[in-house]
Homo-oligomer: A and B are copies of this chain.
């Protein structure tokens, strides 16, 4: 691992990144537990193993910067600043959730931090992210949008349509492809011909490949590209090589028919982004392992409290069912001169 900046002066940032990664892992462990104990409705897709991607990138963003997320979206949501209580409430369909329980895991959004939402249509948010960048350019704002998506989503034609326009119009958008080696139960090689980065380059978009388990490498690259995109040099494309520890979704338990236990073991033991980063932090003397443990313990407590809160929280009233189908329009604005 090579640091982005002077290790001494940036220790706060590093510890924040560490904390955020631990928060994601802890959130997921709790979500998985809720599923296994049948307390969570529906299904969900775990982000564990990919923490360095979301954190490395989102730590390079401000609250005004936007992201779009995916079906595997908890990591992005946490990394972009969401709190556990509202997140767990959403996962459980409770009124205090980020979307008042109407969205659930696959549609969780957090507008206050610029998270435009998870999306249950693979590739479905590529236009949205590009459009957010379009707004910035149109209105002369300097925010940057990051579009997260998986290797599987690169098969969707929409990506090429919007990359073409982003390139033609120099939009401040960064396409972040989380290549975790699989889409559902299929290896990436079987569904992606040629080279993913070359596809972006063919549209004249500068593309990078980076180790998605190395939070510093991800963050260093992200810092640079975000600054350049803010400066009108976008769009950019990043392929982040990573791995998901769990099945495609929480119910995908017997998965040896598509990937070996050895492979999973290798990634967990040799390539875990949190373990790698904690080793670096202690080696560099930024924190002791006791200090890191204390961070983890604090996060665990937070999560426990949030889960308990969410389990006890109330469901939306049934009168909410037909609320929010349409947004209100101020009647005054619909009048002459209004």
Interface residues of A (CB under 8 A from B): 155-161, 163-164, 167-168, 190-195, 198-199, 201-205
Contact = CB atoms under 8 A, between A and B. Distances in A.
Nearest to A126: B157
Contacts of A195: 202, 204
Nearest to A204: B194
Contact of A155 (B155, B159, B164, B193): B164
B168 A191 contact: yes
A202 B198 contact: yes
Nearest to A198: B202
A233 to B, nearest CB: 15
Nearest to A169: B193
20 contacts: A155-B161, A155-B164, A156-B157, A157-B159, A157-B160, A157-B161, A159-B160, A160-B199, A163-B193, A164-B191, A167-B193, A168-B190, A193-B203, A193-B204, A193-B205, A194-B201, A194-B202, A198-B202, A199-B202, A199-B203
A192 B204 CA distance: 10
B194 A205 contact: yes
Contact of A201 (B157, B190, B198): B198
**Of listed A164, A191, A195, residue having the most chain B CB within 10 A:** A164
Given A156-B161, A168-B193, A194-B203, 11 more contacts: A157-B157, A157-B158, A157-B161, A159-B160, A160-B199, A164-B194, A168-B191, A193-B205, A194-B201, A195-B202, A201-B202
A192 B169 CA distance: 11
Contacts of A192: 164
A287 B193 CA distance: 47
A291 B37 CA distance: 87
A168 B155 CA distance: 12
B155 A167 contact: no
Contacts of A167: 193-194
A161 B202 CA distance: 15
A209 to B, nearest CB: 14
**Cβ-closest 8 pairs across A and B:** A157-B157, A167-B193, A194-B204, A198-B202, A194-B203, A199-B202, A160-B160, A157-B161
Contacts of A204: 193-195
A145 B157 CA distance: 21
A49 B137 CA distance: 40
A156 B202 CA distance: 15
A310 B212 CA distance: 66
A203 B198 CA distance: 8
A169 B188 CA distance: 14
Contacts of A164: 155, 191-194
Contacts of A155: 161, 164
Contacts of A168: 190-191, 193
**Of listed A161, A167, A190, A199, residue having the most chain B CB within 10 A:** A199
A191 B155 CA distance: 21
A155 to B, nearest CB: 6
Contacts of A202: 194-195, 198-199, 201-202
